[in-house]
Homo-oligomer: A and B are copies of this chain.
Protein backbone atom coordinates (compact mmCIF):
# COMPACT_ATOMS: atom_id res chain seq x y z
CA UNK A 1 0.00 0.00 0.00
CA UNK A 2 0.99 3.60 -0.62
CA UNK A 3 2.04 5.34 2.57
CA UNK A 4 -0.39 8.02 3.75
CA UNK A 5 2.15 10.80 3.32
CA UNK A 6 2.56 9.87 -0.31
CA UNK A 7 -1.19 9.97 -0.88
CA UNK A 8 -1.34 13.35 0.85
CA UNK A 9 1.56 14.70 -1.16
CA UNK A 10 -0.16 13.52 -4.35
CA UNK A 11 -3.13 15.68 -3.36
CA UNK A 12 -0.96 18.75 -2.85
CA UNK A 13 -1.22 20.70 -6.07
CA UNK A 14 1.99 21.54 -7.97
CA UNK A 15 1.61 25.33 -7.60
CA UNK A 16 1.77 24.99 -3.79
CA UNK A 17 5.47 24.17 -3.75
CA UNK A 18 6.17 27.35 -5.72
CA UNK A 19 3.98 29.47 -3.44
CA UNK A 20 5.60 32.39 -1.59
CA UNK A 21 4.16 34.06 1.49
CA UNK A 22 4.33 37.51 -0.04
CA UNK A 23 1.71 36.46 -2.63
CA UNK A 24 -0.97 36.07 0.04
CA UNK A 25 -1.96 39.75 0.26
CA UNK A 26 -2.55 39.91 -3.50
CA UNK A 27 -4.50 36.68 -3.42
CA UNK A 28 -6.80 37.90 -0.63
CA UNK A 29 -7.56 41.15 -2.47
CA UNK A 30 -8.16 39.31 -5.74
CA UNK A 31 -10.40 36.87 -3.87
CA UNK A 32 -12.52 39.72 -2.49
CA UNK A 33 -12.88 41.46 -5.85
CA UNK A 34 -13.80 38.22 -7.59
CA UNK A 35 -16.32 37.40 -4.84
CA UNK A 36 -17.98 40.80 -5.25
CA UNK A 37 -18.40 40.03 -8.96
CA UNK A 38 -19.33 36.39 -8.44
CA UNK A 39 -22.15 36.97 -6.00
CA UNK A 40 -24.45 38.82 -8.42
CA UNK A 41 -23.42 36.42 -11.22
CA UNK A 42 -24.14 33.39 -9.04
CA UNK A 43 -27.56 34.67 -7.96
CA UNK A 44 -28.44 35.52 -11.57
CA UNK A 45 -27.22 32.30 -13.19
CA UNK A 46 -29.11 30.23 -10.63
CA UNK A 47 -32.34 31.92 -11.74
CA UNK A 48 -31.32 31.33 -15.39
CA UNK A 49 -30.91 27.64 -14.53
CA UNK A 50 -34.41 27.71 -13.00
CA UNK A 51 -33.20 27.42 -9.39
CA UNK A 52 -33.65 29.65 -6.33
CA UNK A 53 -30.89 32.32 -6.32
CA UNK A 54 -28.94 31.04 -3.31
CA UNK A 55 -28.02 27.87 -5.26
CA UNK A 56 -25.76 30.03 -7.40
CA UNK A 57 -23.76 30.79 -4.27
CA UNK A 58 -23.75 27.15 -3.17
CA UNK A 59 -22.32 26.27 -6.59
CA UNK A 60 -19.57 28.87 -6.09
CA UNK A 61 -18.06 27.37 -2.94
CA UNK A 62 -16.38 24.03 -3.60
CA UNK A 63 -15.66 24.17 -7.36
CA UNK A 64 -12.95 26.83 -6.99
CA UNK A 65 -11.32 24.89 -4.15
CA UNK A 66 -11.39 21.59 -6.02
CA UNK A 67 -10.15 23.21 -9.21
CA UNK A 68 -7.23 24.61 -7.18
CA UNK A 69 -6.29 21.03 -6.20
CA UNK A 70 -6.64 19.36 -9.61
CA UNK A 71 -6.33 22.08 -12.22
CA UNK A 72 -3.28 23.30 -14.08
CA UNK A 73 -4.15 26.97 -14.72
CA UNK A 74 -3.23 29.45 -12.00
CA UNK A 75 -5.92 32.01 -12.80
CA UNK A 76 -8.89 29.95 -13.93
CA UNK A 77 -12.08 30.70 -12.01
CA UNK A 78 -14.71 27.94 -12.00
CA UNK A 79 -18.36 28.41 -11.13
CA UNK A 80 -21.81 28.95 -12.64
CA UNK A 81 -21.66 30.47 -16.13
CA UNK A 82 -24.37 31.56 -18.54
CA UNK A 83 -24.11 28.70 -21.06
CA UNK A 84 -24.09 25.78 -18.62
CA UNK A 85 -26.93 27.42 -16.68
CA UNK A 86 -29.00 27.62 -19.85
CA UNK A 87 -28.12 23.99 -20.66
CA UNK A 88 -29.19 22.98 -17.14
CA UNK A 89 -32.56 24.66 -17.59
CA UNK A 90 -33.11 23.08 -20.99
CA UNK A 91 -32.08 19.62 -19.68
CA UNK A 92 -34.44 19.78 -16.69
CA UNK A 93 -37.46 21.44 -18.30
CA UNK A 94 -38.75 18.28 -20.07
CA UNK A 95 -38.84 16.40 -16.74
CA UNK A 96 -41.62 18.73 -15.43
CA UNK A 97 -40.47 18.42 -11.83
CA UNK A 98 -41.72 20.00 -8.60
CA UNK A 99 -39.54 22.84 -7.26
CA UNK A 100 -38.04 20.50 -4.68
CA UNK A 101 -37.24 17.74 -7.16
CA UNK A 102 -35.88 20.28 -9.63
CA UNK A 103 -33.16 21.25 -7.14
CA UNK A 104 -32.28 17.61 -6.53
CA UNK A 105 -32.21 16.82 -10.26
CA UNK A 106 -29.93 19.80 -10.94
CA UNK A 107 -27.45 18.46 -8.38
CA UNK A 108 -27.68 14.97 -9.93
CA UNK A 109 -27.00 16.52 -13.33
CA UNK A 110 -23.90 18.28 -11.98
CA UNK A 111 -22.75 15.04 -10.39
CA UNK A 112 -23.22 12.99 -13.59
CA UNK A 113 -21.51 15.64 -15.65
CA UNK A 114 -18.66 15.71 -13.12
CA UNK A 115 -18.22 11.94 -13.19
CA UNK A 116 -18.16 11.99 -17.00
CA UNK A 117 -15.52 14.72 -17.05
CA UNK A 118 -13.38 13.11 -14.38
CA UNK A 119 -13.46 9.73 -16.13
CA UNK A 120 -12.68 11.37 -19.46
CA UNK A 121 -9.66 12.96 -17.78
CA UNK A 122 -8.53 9.65 -16.28
CA UNK A 123 -8.93 8.00 -19.71
CA UNK A 124 -6.89 10.86 -21.22
CA UNK A 125 -9.58 11.92 -23.67
CA UNK A 126 -8.56 15.58 -23.53
CA UNK A 127 -8.14 15.58 -27.31
CA UNK A 128 -11.93 15.13 -27.60
CA UNK A 129 -12.37 18.89 -27.38
CA UNK A 130 -10.65 19.17 -30.77
CA UNK A 131 -13.57 17.43 -32.44
CA UNK A 132 -15.75 20.53 -32.23
CA UNK A 133 -14.71 23.06 -34.85
CA UNK A 134 -14.55 26.74 -33.98
CA UNK A 135 -17.45 27.62 -36.30
CA UNK A 136 -19.64 25.08 -34.50
CA UNK A 137 -18.57 26.39 -31.08
CA UNK A 138 -19.05 30.03 -32.07
CA UNK A 139 -22.39 29.28 -33.69
CA UNK A 140 -23.48 27.40 -30.60
CA UNK A 141 -22.45 30.19 -28.22
CA UNK A 142 -24.18 32.88 -30.27
CA UNK A 143 -27.36 30.81 -30.60
CA UNK A 144 -27.34 30.01 -26.89
CA UNK A 145 -26.71 33.66 -25.97
CA UNK A 146 -29.72 34.76 -28.01
CA UNK A 147 -31.80 32.06 -26.30
CA UNK A 148 -30.60 33.39 -22.94
CA UNK A 149 -31.51 36.98 -23.82
CA UNK A 150 -34.96 35.94 -24.98
CA UNK A 151 -35.54 33.87 -21.83
CA UNK A 152 -34.53 36.80 -19.60
CA UNK A 153 -36.99 39.17 -21.27
CA UNK A 154 -39.69 37.41 -19.26
CA UNK A 155 -38.45 38.56 -15.80
CA UNK A 156 -37.48 41.96 -17.21
CA UNK A 157 -41.05 42.61 -18.37
CA UNK A 158 -42.51 40.75 -15.42
CA UNK A 159 -44.59 38.45 -17.64
CA UNK A 160 -44.98 34.70 -17.39
CA UNK A 161 -45.35 33.18 -20.85
CA UNK A 162 -44.40 29.89 -22.47
CA UNK A 163 -43.64 28.86 -26.02
CA UNK A 164 -43.20 25.49 -27.70
CA UNK A 165 -40.17 26.90 -29.47
CA UNK A 166 -38.24 30.15 -29.69
CA UNK A 167 -40.49 31.70 -32.34
CA UNK A 168 -43.61 30.88 -30.34
CA UNK A 169 -41.97 32.26 -27.20
CA UNK A 170 -41.10 35.54 -28.89
CA UNK A 171 -44.64 35.85 -30.24
CA UNK A 172 -46.09 35.09 -26.80
CA UNK A 173 -43.77 37.70 -25.28
CA UNK A 174 -44.96 40.33 -27.73
CA UNK A 175 -48.58 39.39 -27.12
CA UNK A 176 -48.03 39.69 -23.35
CA UNK A 177 -46.41 43.13 -23.55
CA UNK A 178 -49.64 45.03 -22.73
CA UNK A 179 -49.73 43.20 -19.37
CA UNK A 180 -46.06 43.93 -18.64
CA UNK A 181 -44.93 45.30 -15.30
CA UNK A 182 -43.56 48.64 -16.49
CA UNK A 183 -41.72 49.42 -13.26
CA UNK A 184 -39.78 46.16 -13.59
CA UNK A 185 -39.31 46.80 -17.30
CA UNK A 186 -37.97 50.33 -16.73
CA UNK A 187 -35.59 49.12 -14.03
CA UNK A 188 -34.44 46.18 -16.17
CA UNK A 189 -33.92 48.21 -19.34
CA UNK A 190 -32.05 50.92 -17.43
CA UNK A 191 -30.00 48.15 -15.82
CA UNK A 192 -29.03 46.56 -19.14
CA UNK A 193 -28.22 49.99 -20.57
CA UNK A 194 -26.15 50.96 -17.56
CA UNK A 195 -24.20 47.69 -17.60
CA UNK A 196 -23.49 47.85 -21.32
CA UNK A 197 -22.48 51.52 -21.21
CA UNK A 198 -20.37 51.05 -18.08
CA UNK A 199 -18.48 48.22 -19.76
CA UNK A 200 -17.65 50.55 -22.61
CA UNK A 201 -16.98 53.85 -20.87
CA UNK A 202 -16.28 53.42 -17.11
CA UNK A 203 -12.57 52.72 -17.46
CA UNK A 204 -11.83 55.54 -19.90
CA UNK A 205 -13.92 58.00 -17.89
CA UNK A 206 -12.18 57.12 -14.63
CA UNK A 207 -8.76 57.32 -16.26
CA UNK A 208 -9.69 60.72 -17.66
CA UNK A 209 -10.43 62.02 -14.14
CA UNK A 210 -7.09 60.71 -12.93
CA UNK A 211 -7.78 57.23 -11.54
CA UNK A 212 -5.00 54.67 -12.11
CA UNK A 213 -5.93 52.27 -14.90
CA UNK A 214 -5.83 49.10 -12.81
CA UNK A 215 -8.04 50.64 -10.14
CA UNK A 216 -10.38 51.93 -12.83
CA UNK A 217 -10.70 48.40 -14.21
CA UNK A 218 -11.43 47.06 -10.71
CA UNK A 219 -14.14 49.63 -10.17
CA UNK A 220 -15.68 48.72 -13.50
CA UNK A 221 -15.87 45.07 -12.39
CA UNK A 222 -17.82 46.13 -9.31
CA UNK A 223 -20.49 47.98 -11.30
CA UNK A 224 -22.87 44.98 -11.41
CA UNK A 225 -22.63 44.61 -7.64
CA UNK A 226 -23.15 48.35 -7.13
CA UNK A 227 -26.13 48.30 -9.49
CA UNK A 228 -27.73 45.44 -7.57
CA UNK A 229 -27.11 47.21 -4.26
CA UNK A 230 -28.62 50.39 -5.67
CA UNK A 231 -31.63 48.43 -6.89
CA UNK A 232 -32.05 46.78 -3.48
CA UNK A 233 -31.80 50.20 -1.82
CA UNK A 234 -34.50 51.61 -4.14
CA UNK A 235 -36.79 48.67 -3.37
CA UNK A 236 -36.19 49.15 0.37
CA UNK A 237 -36.74 52.93 0.31
CA UNK A 238 -39.81 53.00 -1.96
CA UNK A 239 -41.36 49.74 -0.74
CA UNK A 240 -41.30 48.39 -4.31
CA UNK A 241 -41.36 44.75 -3.12
CA UNK A 242 -45.13 44.92 -3.46
CA UNK A 243 -44.88 46.23 -7.02
CA UNK A 244 -42.22 43.98 -8.57
CA UNK A 245 -40.66 40.59 -8.02
CA UNK A 246 -37.75 40.51 -5.58
CA UNK A 247 -35.44 37.68 -4.51
CA UNK A 248 -37.16 37.50 -1.11
CA UNK A 249 -36.04 35.77 2.05
CA UNK A 250 -33.14 33.36 1.53
CA UNK A 251 -32.02 30.70 4.01
CA UNK A 252 -28.99 31.84 6.00
CA UNK A 253 -25.66 30.10 6.02
CA UNK A 254 -24.19 26.93 4.66
CA UNK A 255 -25.99 24.59 2.28
CA UNK A 256 -26.56 21.00 3.34
CA UNK A 257 -23.67 18.93 2.08
CA UNK A 258 -24.78 15.57 0.69
CA UNK A 259 -24.25 13.52 -2.43
CA UNK A 260 -27.26 13.86 -4.74
CA UNK A 261 -29.86 11.12 -4.46
CA UNK A 262 -29.87 8.76 -7.41
CA UNK A 263 -33.07 8.42 -9.41
CA UNK A 264 -33.02 5.98 -12.30
CA UNK A 265 -35.79 7.72 -14.28
CA UNK A 266 -33.95 11.05 -14.03
CA UNK A 267 -30.68 9.32 -14.90
CA UNK A 268 -32.23 7.91 -18.07
CA UNK A 269 -33.32 11.39 -19.19
CA UNK A 270 -30.22 13.22 -18.05
CA UNK A 271 -27.24 11.18 -19.21
CA UNK A 272 -27.14 12.68 -22.70
CA UNK A 273 -27.52 16.28 -21.39
CA UNK A 274 -24.91 15.54 -18.71
CA UNK A 275 -22.39 14.55 -21.38
CA UNK A 276 -23.31 17.53 -23.58
CA UNK A 277 -22.98 19.93 -20.63
CA UNK A 278 -19.69 18.37 -19.60
CA UNK A 279 -18.28 18.49 -23.12
CA UNK A 280 -19.39 22.05 -23.89
CA UNK A 281 -18.32 23.26 -20.46
CA UNK A 282 -14.93 21.68 -21.06
CA UNK A 283 -14.61 23.25 -24.52
CA UNK A 284 -15.43 26.67 -23.06
CA UNK A 285 -13.10 26.23 -20.11
CA UNK A 286 -10.14 24.82 -22.04
CA UNK A 287 -10.20 27.60 -24.60
CA UNK A 288 -10.10 30.16 -21.78
CA UNK A 289 -7.34 28.25 -20.01
CA UNK A 290 -5.39 28.08 -23.28
CA UNK A 291 -5.48 31.79 -23.91
CA UNK A 292 -4.35 32.58 -20.35
CA UNK A 293 -1.70 29.84 -20.34
CA UNK A 294 -0.29 31.29 -23.54
CA UNK A 295 -0.07 34.76 -21.99
CA UNK A 296 1.49 33.51 -18.78
CA UNK A 297 3.70 30.89 -20.54
CA UNK A 298 2.36 28.16 -18.28
CA UNK A 299 2.06 24.56 -19.37
CA UNK A 300 -1.53 23.36 -19.77
CA UNK A 301 -2.62 19.74 -19.43
CA UNK A 302 -6.00 19.10 -21.05
CA UNK A 303 -6.47 15.86 -19.11
CA UNK A 304 -5.72 17.56 -15.79
CA UNK A 305 -8.29 20.21 -16.79
CA UNK A 306 -10.86 17.48 -17.44
CA UNK A 307 -10.25 15.92 -14.04
CA UNK A 308 -10.33 19.33 -12.33
CA UNK A 309 -13.63 20.31 -13.96
CA UNK A 310 -15.00 16.87 -13.08
CA UNK A 311 -14.03 17.33 -9.44
CA UNK A 312 -15.46 20.87 -9.47
CA UNK A 313 -18.83 19.61 -10.71
CA UNK A 314 -18.92 16.78 -8.19
CA UNK A 315 -18.13 19.39 -5.52
CA UNK A 316 -20.92 21.62 -6.79
CA UNK A 317 -23.30 18.68 -6.62
CA UNK A 318 -22.19 17.84 -3.09
CA UNK A 319 -23.20 21.33 -1.96
CA UNK A 320 -26.54 20.93 -3.76
CA UNK A 321 -25.42 23.13 -6.66
CA UNK A 322 -25.70 22.77 -10.43
CA UNK A 323 -23.24 22.31 -13.33
CA UNK A 324 -20.27 24.70 -13.36
CA UNK A 325 -17.29 25.41 -15.59
CA UNK A 326 -14.56 27.97 -16.15
CA UNK A 327 -15.98 31.36 -17.09
CA UNK A 328 -14.26 33.96 -19.23
CA UNK A 329 -15.24 37.14 -17.37
CA UNK A 330 -14.59 35.69 -13.90
CA UNK A 331 -11.20 34.34 -15.01
CA UNK A 332 -10.29 37.67 -16.56
CA UNK A 333 -11.20 39.50 -13.35
CA UNK A 334 -9.25 36.99 -11.31
CA UNK A 335 -6.15 37.50 -13.48
CA UNK A 336 -6.48 41.28 -13.54
CA UNK A 337 -7.11 41.51 -9.80
CA UNK A 338 -3.59 40.23 -9.33
CA UNK A 339 -4.23 36.61 -8.37
CA UNK A 340 -0.93 34.76 -8.01
CA UNK A 341 -2.29 31.30 -7.47
CA UNK A 342 -5.49 29.29 -7.17
CA UNK A 343 -5.46 30.32 -3.51
CA UNK A 344 -7.18 33.53 -4.65
CA UNK A 345 -10.10 31.32 -5.72
CA UNK A 346 -10.18 29.70 -2.32
CA UNK A 347 -10.36 33.14 -0.71
CA UNK A 348 -13.17 34.19 -3.03
CA UNK A 349 -15.10 31.08 -1.98
CA UNK A 350 -14.57 32.18 1.62
CA UNK A 351 -16.01 35.60 0.88
CA UNK A 352 -19.03 34.06 -0.83
CA UNK A 353 -19.55 31.98 2.29
CA UNK A 354 -19.38 35.11 4.44
CA UNK A 355 -22.01 36.70 2.21
CA UNK A 356 -24.20 33.63 2.66
CA UNK A 357 -23.91 34.06 6.46
CA UNK A 358 -24.29 37.80 6.76
CA UNK A 359 -25.78 39.35 3.64
CA UNK A 360 -28.84 37.28 2.73
CA UNK A 361 -31.11 39.89 4.32
CA UNK A 362 -29.66 42.39 1.85
CA UNK A 363 -30.29 40.04 -1.10
CA UNK A 364 -33.96 39.72 -0.21
CA UNK A 365 -34.60 43.21 -1.59
CA UNK A 366 -32.85 42.53 -4.92
CA UNK A 367 -35.27 43.01 -7.81
CA UNK A 368 -35.35 39.96 -10.11
CA UNK A 369 -35.45 42.25 -13.14
CA UNK A 370 -31.93 43.48 -12.30
CA UNK A 371 -30.64 39.91 -12.04
CA UNK A 372 -32.07 39.37 -15.52
CA UNK A 373 -30.37 42.59 -16.64
CA UNK A 374 -27.05 41.20 -15.37
CA UNK A 375 -27.56 38.03 -17.41
CA UNK A 376 -28.65 39.88 -20.55
CA UNK A 377 -25.64 42.20 -20.48
CA UNK A 378 -23.33 39.20 -20.11
CA UNK A 379 -25.12 37.31 -22.91
CA UNK A 380 -24.94 40.27 -25.30
CA UNK A 381 -21.15 39.97 -25.14
CA UNK A 382 -21.36 36.36 -26.26
CA UNK A 383 -23.21 37.19 -29.48
CA UNK A 384 -20.54 37.30 -32.16
CA UNK A 385 -21.95 38.46 -35.47
CA UNK A 386 -18.62 39.43 -37.01
CA UNK A 387 -17.42 35.84 -36.62
CA UNK A 388 -20.26 34.80 -38.96
CA UNK A 389 -19.17 37.39 -41.48
CA UNK A 390 -15.54 36.29 -41.27
CA UNK A 391 -16.27 32.58 -41.52
CA UNK A 392 -18.67 33.11 -44.40
CA UNK A 393 -16.12 35.16 -46.30
CA UNK A 394 -13.27 32.73 -45.72
CA UNK A 395 -15.30 29.64 -46.58
CA UNK A 396 -19.01 29.39 -47.34
CA UNK A 397 -19.33 25.88 -45.90
CA UNK A 398 -17.83 26.93 -42.56
CA UNK A 399 -20.10 29.96 -42.41
CA UNK A 400 -22.95 27.58 -43.22
CA UNK A 401 -22.00 25.22 -40.39
CA UNK A 402 -21.89 28.19 -38.02
CA UNK A 403 -25.29 29.48 -39.15
CA UNK A 404 -26.75 25.96 -39.07
CA UNK A 405 -25.56 25.44 -35.51
CA UNK A 406 -26.83 28.82 -34.30
CA UNK A 407 -30.14 28.40 -36.12
CA UNK A 408 -30.53 24.82 -34.87
CA UNK A 409 -29.83 25.88 -31.28
CA UNK A 410 -32.32 28.74 -31.53
CA UNK A 411 -35.13 26.91 -33.31
CA UNK A 412 -34.72 23.26 -32.42
CA UNK A 413 -32.83 23.19 -29.13
CA UNK A 414 -29.26 22.94 -27.97
CA UNK A 415 -28.54 19.28 -28.72
CA UNK A 416 -30.14 19.31 -32.15
CA UNK A 417 -28.24 22.49 -33.01
CA UNK A 418 -24.90 20.98 -32.09
CA UNK A 419 -25.84 17.79 -33.94
CA UNK A 420 -26.57 19.82 -37.06
CA UNK A 421 -23.25 21.65 -36.75
CA UNK A 422 -21.21 18.48 -36.27
CA UNK A 423 -23.02 16.71 -39.13
CA UNK A 424 -22.48 19.67 -41.49
CA UNK A 425 -18.81 19.80 -40.52
CA UNK A 426 -18.26 16.08 -41.14
CA UNK A 427 -20.15 16.13 -44.43
CA UNK A 428 -18.04 19.09 -45.58
CA UNK A 429 -14.89 17.27 -44.54
CA UNK A 430 -15.71 14.15 -46.57
CA UNK A 431 -17.18 16.16 -49.43
CA UNK A 432 -14.05 18.32 -49.79
CA UNK A 433 -11.76 15.33 -49.59
CA UNK A 434 -13.93 13.52 -52.14
CA UNK A 435 -13.13 16.08 -54.83
CA UNK A 436 -9.38 16.34 -54.58
CA UNK A 437 -7.34 18.83 -56.50
CA UNK A 438 -5.27 16.95 -59.08
CA UNK A 439 -2.67 19.05 -60.86
CA UNK A 440 -0.58 18.26 -63.92
CA UNK A 441 2.87 19.47 -62.86
CA UNK A 442 6.11 20.39 -64.60
CA UNK A 443 9.65 21.25 -63.59
CA UNK A 444 10.43 24.85 -62.62
CA UNK A 445 13.53 25.57 -64.75
CA UNK A 446 16.78 25.63 -62.80
CA UNK A 447 15.28 23.87 -59.77
CA UNK A 448 14.27 20.32 -58.86
CA UNK A 449 10.84 21.55 -58.00
CA UNK A 450 7.57 20.67 -59.73
CA UNK A 451 4.52 22.92 -59.80
CA UNK A 452 1.11 23.16 -61.47
CA UNK A 453 1.45 23.77 -65.23
CA UNK A 454 -1.45 26.22 -65.19
CA UNK A 455 0.03 28.42 -62.42
CA UNK A 456 3.75 28.41 -63.14
CA UNK A 457 6.12 28.49 -66.10
CA UNK A 458 7.42 24.96 -66.11
CA UNK A 459 9.17 22.39 -68.31
CA UNK A 460 7.18 19.33 -69.34
CA UNK A 461 7.92 16.30 -71.47
CA UNK A 462 5.46 14.77 -73.94
CA UNK A 463 6.48 11.26 -72.97
CA UNK A 464 5.98 11.62 -69.20
CA UNK A 465 2.76 12.73 -67.53
CA UNK A 466 3.40 13.97 -63.99
CA UNK A 467 0.33 14.32 -61.75
CA UNK A 468 0.13 15.56 -58.18
CA UNK A 469 -2.81 14.34 -56.07
CA UNK A 470 -3.53 16.84 -53.30
CA UNK A 471 -5.31 14.59 -50.84
CA UNK A 472 -5.08 11.38 -48.88
CA UNK A 473 -6.45 8.51 -50.94
CA UNK A 474 -9.50 7.06 -49.24
CA UNK A 475 -12.90 5.58 -49.98
CA UNK A 476 -14.43 9.01 -50.46
CA UNK A 477 -12.24 9.95 -53.42
CA UNK A 478 -10.84 6.67 -54.78
CA UNK A 479 -13.18 6.55 -57.78
CA UNK A 480 -12.90 10.22 -58.68
CA UNK A 481 -9.09 10.15 -58.41
CA UNK A 482 -8.97 7.14 -60.74
CA UNK A 483 -11.27 8.73 -63.29
CA UNK A 484 -9.41 12.07 -63.15
CA UNK A 485 -6.09 10.33 -63.73
CA UNK A 486 -7.54 8.43 -66.69
CA UNK A 487 -9.06 11.64 -68.06
CA UNK A 488 -5.73 13.46 -67.69
CA UNK A 489 -4.08 10.67 -69.65
CA UNK A 490 -6.60 10.89 -72.50
CA UNK A 491 -5.26 14.43 -73.03
CA UNK A 492 -1.69 13.12 -73.21
CA UNK A 493 -2.16 9.92 -75.20
CA UNK A 494 1.46 9.83 -76.33
CA UNK A 495 2.60 9.25 -72.77
CA UNK A 496 3.54 5.74 -71.84
CA UNK A 497 4.69 6.77 -68.37
CA UNK A 498 2.37 8.26 -65.77
CA UNK A 499 3.98 9.44 -62.52
CA UNK A 500 1.81 10.18 -59.50
CA UNK A 501 3.43 12.59 -57.01
CA UNK A 502 2.42 11.36 -53.59
CA UNK A 503 3.80 14.29 -51.59
CA UNK A 504 0.33 15.09 -50.23
CA UNK A 505 -0.69 11.51 -49.56
CA UNK A 506 -0.24 10.46 -45.94
CA UNK A 507 -2.64 7.54 -46.00
CA UNK A 508 -4.12 5.06 -48.46
CA UNK A 509 -7.07 3.05 -47.21
CA UNK A 510 -8.27 -0.37 -48.38
CA UNK A 511 -10.77 1.10 -50.85
CA UNK A 512 -8.13 3.35 -52.44
CA UNK A 513 -5.60 0.52 -52.55
CA UNK A 514 -8.09 -1.53 -54.58
CA UNK A 515 -8.50 1.49 -56.88
CA UNK A 516 -4.72 1.67 -57.41
CA UNK A 517 -4.69 -2.03 -58.27
CA UNK A 518 -7.42 -1.51 -60.86
CA UNK A 519 -5.75 1.60 -62.28
CA UNK A 520 -2.46 -0.27 -62.58
CA UNK A 521 -4.19 -3.19 -64.37
CA UNK A 522 -6.06 -0.83 -66.62
CA UNK A 523 -2.88 1.01 -67.62
CA UNK A 524 -1.01 -2.28 -68.07
CA UNK A 525 -3.55 -3.40 -70.69
CA UNK A 526 -2.94 -0.16 -72.58
CA UNK A 527 0.81 -0.49 -72.30
CA UNK A 528 1.18 2.45 -69.93
CA UNK A 529 3.47 2.22 -66.92
CA UNK A 530 2.32 3.68 -63.61
CA UNK A 531 5.01 5.18 -61.37
CA UNK A 532 4.90 6.72 -57.91
CA UNK A 533 7.21 9.43 -56.58
CA UNK A 534 7.77 11.24 -53.28
CA UNK A 535 6.01 8.48 -51.37
CA UNK A 536 6.14 9.25 -47.65
CA UNK A 537 7.75 6.76 -45.29
CA UNK A 538 4.60 5.46 -43.58
CA UNK A 539 2.78 5.07 -46.92
CA UNK A 540 5.76 3.23 -48.45
CA UNK A 541 5.74 0.82 -45.51
CA UNK A 542 2.04 0.16 -46.06
CA UNK A 543 2.43 -0.39 -49.80
CA UNK A 544 5.32 -2.78 -49.22
CA UNK A 545 3.20 -4.88 -46.86
CA UNK A 546 0.41 -5.19 -49.43
CA UNK A 547 1.20 -6.82 -52.79
CA UNK A 548 0.76 -3.56 -54.69
CA UNK A 549 4.48 -2.85 -54.52
CA UNK A 550 5.27 -5.96 -56.58
CA UNK A 551 2.38 -5.54 -59.02
CA UNK A 552 3.19 -1.95 -59.92
CA UNK A 553 4.18 -1.80 -63.59
CA UNK A 554 6.52 1.16 -63.02
CA UNK A 555 8.89 2.23 -60.28
CA UNK A 556 8.66 4.00 -56.95
CA UNK A 557 11.00 7.03 -57.20
CA UNK A 558 12.33 8.91 -54.20
CA UNK A 559 11.83 12.29 -55.85
CA UNK A 560 9.76 13.63 -58.71
CA UNK A 561 12.97 15.04 -60.19
CA UNK A 562 14.60 11.60 -60.38
CA UNK A 563 11.48 10.21 -62.03
CA UNK A 564 11.38 13.03 -64.55
CA UNK A 565 15.10 12.76 -65.37
CA UNK A 566 15.03 9.00 -65.83
CA UNK A 567 11.75 8.74 -67.74
CA UNK A 568 12.61 11.67 -70.04
CA UNK A 569 15.85 9.89 -70.87
CA UNK A 570 18.01 12.68 -69.42
CA UNK A 571 19.94 10.53 -66.99
Contact = CB atoms under 8 A, between A and B. Distances in A.
A131 B430 contact: yes
A433 B294 CA distance: 25
How many chain A residues sit at the interface, stated as a range, is: 35 or more
A394 B475 contact: no
A90 interface: no
A567 B329 CA distance: 43
Interface string A521-533: 0100000000000
A128 to B, nearest CB: 10
A187 interface: no
Contacts of A518: 294
A131 B448 contact: no
A165 interface: no
Most chain B CB neighbours (cut-off 10 Å) among A429, A513, A561:
A429
Contacts of A503: 503-504
A477 B130 contact: yes
Interface in A545-571: 545-546, 558-559, 561
A568 B530 CA distance: 37
Contacts of A22: none
Given A447-B559, A449-B559, A509 B426 contact: no
Contacts of A455: 537
Given A130-B480, A430-B429, A475-B130, A394 B506 contact: no
Given A129-B479, A395-B509, A448-B448, 10 more contacts: A130-B434, A133-B476, A133-B509, A135-B511, A394-B542, A398-B509, A398-B510, A429-B430, A503-B504, A504-B506
Interface of A: 127, 129-135, 290, 294, 390-391, 393-395, 398, 425-426, 429-430, 432-434, 436-437, 439, 444, 447-449, 451-452, 455, 470-472, 474-480, 503-507, 509-511, 513-514, 518, 522, 536-538, 542, 545-546, 558-559, 561
